């Protein structure tokens, strides 16, 4: 993460990363609520969420209330998807 004194190279990336974070949390069935992703909750992987810790459908919590493992799983998935996206982009240009 960029330090507080540095400017972001692509300021618009913050909003997309937040979108990705909530999207992944909803897919994993984590109880962090954002109305924009309410449609994903019906397909959420509640078994995976239960493995990560307490899961109660209908209960919404803040990110700070999740465990390190839960937050880490979301961060790891973000990283994985960003790498996949970069690899796809590079392969389209024939550099991979």
CA–CA gap between residue 72 and residue 9 (Å, rounded): 24
pLDDT, residue 73, reads 95
Phi, psi of 61 (to 5 degrees): -130, 165
Phi, psi of 32 (to 5 degrees): -95, 120
Q: Where are the alpha helices (DSSP H) in the chain?
A: 13-28, 38-41, 46-52, 68-92
Tens of pLDDT along 49-71? 555 555 555 567 888 889 999 99
Tens of pLDDT along 6-60? 677 888 888 888 889 988 988 888 888 776 665 555 555 555 555 555 555 556 7
pLDDT, residue 44, reads 54
């Amino acid at each position: 993460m960029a330090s507080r004194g540095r400017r972001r190279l692509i300021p618009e990336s913050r909003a997309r990363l937040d979108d990705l974070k909530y999207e992944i949390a909803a897919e994993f069935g984590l109880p962090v609520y954002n109305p924009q992703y309410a449609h994903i909750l019906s397909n959420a992987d509640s078994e995976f969420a239960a493995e990560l810790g307490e899961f109660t459908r209908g209960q919404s919590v803040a990110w700070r209330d999740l465990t390190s493992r839960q937050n880490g799983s979301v961060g790891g998935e973000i990283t994985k998807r960003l790498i996949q996206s970069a690899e796809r982009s590079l392969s389209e240009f024939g550099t991979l």
